[in-house]
Amino acid sequence: MILEALANAFGPSGCEQDVRALLLEQIRGRVEDCRVDHLGNILAQQRGTSDRLRVMVSAHMDEVGLMVTYAEDSGLLRFVTVGNIDVRVLPAKRVLVGRERTPGVIAVKPVHKTTAEERGRAFSIEQLAIDVGATTKAEAEKVAGRGDYAVFATRFQDLGGTVTGKALDDRAGCAILVELVQRGPYPFTLCPVFSTMEEIGMRGARVAAFAMAPDVAFVLEGTVCDDSPKKRDESPTTEMGKGPVISVADRSVIADQRLVRHVVRVAAAAGIPLQIKQPGKGGTDAGAIHLARTGVPSLPVCVACRYIHSPVSMLSKRDLGQTVDLMEQALRRLSPEVLAAQDGLQEVPRP
């Protein structure tokens, strides 16, 4: 499974080259045109059976991670987070640090030496450091200097019905996009984009959408899933195992209603279950893409991933497969008429 290699690859925001190399290998020969832009995005094009539309389908390569800020005299490496990580999940986790991907551990005081009061309180990031076994500043700096990255060292595991690994947000999206490219061509020009720096503010997708100037965009994401049992009757955001997810409105975009209707219909016709993500939560590259140039009708299509932005996330293999099938069908049935199609959205006739 390509997802395994992708999830294991080292690729925090701004340092996506390992992931990019894997993806370039996967799509080579399946696209007519493929380049890497100044921000590190992969911009590809696959000719279709018609060129009446340009359809961008994107997934981001980067993952949340850590960046080294300082090597202490003791040999410990201080760091900051890259992207949104709950600092409470960090202590005692394994990481890979620096250009040689050296194993390290996020240092933690033994339970024997902590007071009850300390145990009731979360660490702040200033109290944390990465231990790579170095005993001096010079030794630590050989592993990683200021500005070098670290990611969680979690290895991918197949648990049968589900898989676990780091960075399923958004290597799941990357894996889906690779499969969609394999299953092409489609009745339009497909513009597959693997974007950089999503986790620090949709930076790659912004310039990618400007360059590709698509008519429509789909954004593939591993998204928030909060389906553990709760005391209150409240939204699980999405649920693992309940099928592909579309996001109709989040903090970054209000999805195009024509695309929402299209995907809902395709799912119903294909007998694929579909979830609507709890509106108002999170954001995706669609936030940047839909505002490019004169605007791009956009829709995020997601796989529910438990525990994202932590050392290990989990998704359902059936959800993943159904998301590929749903997207394939949605793309095969996409035409300019879908965008002109109305159901209450009346395009004003041009004189």
Partner 1 sequence: MNDILRSLVESFGPSGHEDTVRSLIAAQIAGAVDEVRTDALGNLIALKRGDGTGHRIMLAAHMDEIGVMASYIDEKGFVRVQPIGGVSPLLEVGGRVLFANGVVGVISYEKLAAGEQVPPMDKLFVDVGATSRQDCPVALGDPACFLQPLCAVGGHLTAKAMDDRVGCAVLIEAVRHLGKTPHECCFVFSSQEEVGTRGAMTAAFGIAPDVGVAVDVTLAGDTPEPAVRMAVALDAGPAIKVKDGGMLATPWVKDWMVDTASSEGLPYQLEVLPGGTTDARAIQTSREGIPSGCLSIPCRYVHSPSETVSAADVANAVKLLTAMLRRPLPR
Element (DSSP H or E) covering residue 165: strand 162-165
| DSSP-assigned states of every residue in 127-150 | G--EE-S--SHHHHHHH--TT-EE
> In the Cβ-directed half-sphere of 171, how many Cα atoms lie within 13 Å?
34
- Does 335 interact with partner 1 (rule: CB under 8 A)? no
Q: How far is the CB of 267 from partner 1 (least distance, A)?
A: 14
- Which residue stretch of 75-83, 152-160, 189-197, 295-303 sits at the interface with partner 1 (rule: CB under 8 A)? 295-303
CB of 213 vs partner 1, minimal distance in Å: 11
Q: Which of 198, 199, 221, 328 is catalytic?
A: 198
Strand pairing category for 275-276 and 245-246: parallel
345 binds partner 1 (CB under 8 A): yes
- Here the tokens at position 340 are 């002109």
CA-CA distance, 294 to 15, in Å (whole number)?
A: 30
Among positions 235, 239, 273, 318, the unique one binding partner 1 when judged by CB under 8 A: 235
DSSP 3-state assignment of 276? strand
Of the listed pieces 48-56, 91-99, 165-173, 294-302, which binds partner 1 according to CB under 8 A?
294-302
CB 284 within 8 A of CB 337: no
Query: Which residues in the 78-107 window bind partner 1 by CB under 8 A?
Result: none
Question: Which CB sits closer to partner 1, 130 or 266?
Answer: 266
Active site residue 25: no
Query: Which residue of 297, 302, 324, 330 would you call a contact of partner 1, by CB under 8 A?
Result: 297
230 interacts with partner 1 by CB under 8 A: no
According to CB under 8 A, which one of 89, 108, 125, 276 is a site residue for partner 1?
A: 276
Nearer to partner 1, 161 or 279 (CB): 279
By CB under 8 A, name the one of 69, 94, 293, 336 that touches partner 1.
293
What b-and-e string marks burial along 249-287, b requiring 16 or more CB atoms within 10 Å of the CB?
A: bbebbebbebbbbbbeebbeeeebebbebbeebbbbbbb
Classified as helix, coil or strand, 340 is helix
Site string for partner 1, 35-74 (x = CB under 8 A): ----------------------------------------
Q: Is the peptide bond before 170 cis (omega within 30 degrees of 0)?
A: yes
Q: Which residues are catalytic?
A: 198
Residues in contact with partner 1 by CB under 8 A are 215, 233-235, 248-249, 254-257, 260, 276, 278-281, 290-297, 344-351
